[in-house]
Amino acid sequence: MAFLAALEQTALSVWIRETPSVFAFPFILFLHTLGLGFVVGVSVAVNVWVLGFANRYPIAPLRQLLPVMWIGFAINAVSGVLLLVAYPAKALTNPIFYIKLGLIAVAVVALTWLGRQVFAGANAGRVFEPGFRVKGVAATTLALWVGTIATGRFLAYTHSILMAGDVVN
């Protein structure tokens, strides 16, 4: 707990948490939401296509959005670390935070696997017909993103410790 108390007293943590500037916590939270929109948006587009809800459209053009998705993921990673630095005890003492990280990890692995399956045939000019396994991974990936978003929102309301300094002192 002493490490978390020390971390929340660093200049960066105090600035993010306490400055009245909109370029601190509110902007970082905006970036986190924007990155999430890129990642989940592209993922949903691919998954919806795989599940047959948009398969009248070609899948190949969606491949061009994969770099946008990874840029969104990078934005999420950086902004997430900054949000963590602002309130380290709030997240790191909350089991829901670890569930969120686990859901993200599994969703990224599933999406990467799914992308390889879907776009390999599309790039060769073949028509890709997703099988039961691929559709199952697509549905699971959608559920993982819903879980990630839900757990992220729950973090704001389920913490038992907001500031480590309040516990240590």
Residue 123 pLDDT > 60, yes or no? no
Which of these, 114, 146, 126, 110, lies nearest to 46 by C-alpha position?
Answer: 114
| Residue 79 pLDDT exceeds 70 | yes
**In the chain, what are the domain boundaries?**
2-168
- The label of the residue with tokens 């007293």 reads 9
Confidence band for 168, pLDDT divided at 50, 70 and 90: low
Q: Give the gyration radius of the chain's Cα atoms.
A: 19
Q: Fill in the amino acid letter for 99.
A: I
Range scoring the smallest mean pLDDT among 119-128, 137-146, 159-168 = 119-128
- Taking each helix axis from N to C end, the angle separating 25-50 and 66-86, rounded to the nearest 10 degrees, works out to 140
14-38 per-position pLDDT tens digit: 999 999 999 999 999 999 999 999 9
Q: Tell me: pLDDT of 71 over 90.
A: yes
What's the whole-number average pLDDT of the chain? 92
pLDDT band at 126 (very low <50, low <70, confident <90, very high): low
Cα distances from 161 to residues 13, 35, 89, 148, in angstroms, run 16, 27, 6, 21
* HSE-CB for 119 with a 13 A CA cutoff: 15
Predicted local distance difference test score (pLDDT) of residue 167: 80
Q: Residue 157: exposed, middle, or buried by beta-carbon count in 10 A (0-12, 13-18, 19+)?
A: exposed
Angle at 93 between CA 89 and CA 94, to 5 degrees: 115
Is pTM beyond 0.85? Reply is yes
Closest CA to 83 of 164, 28, 3: 28
Other CB atoms within 10 Å distance of the CB of residue 90: 22
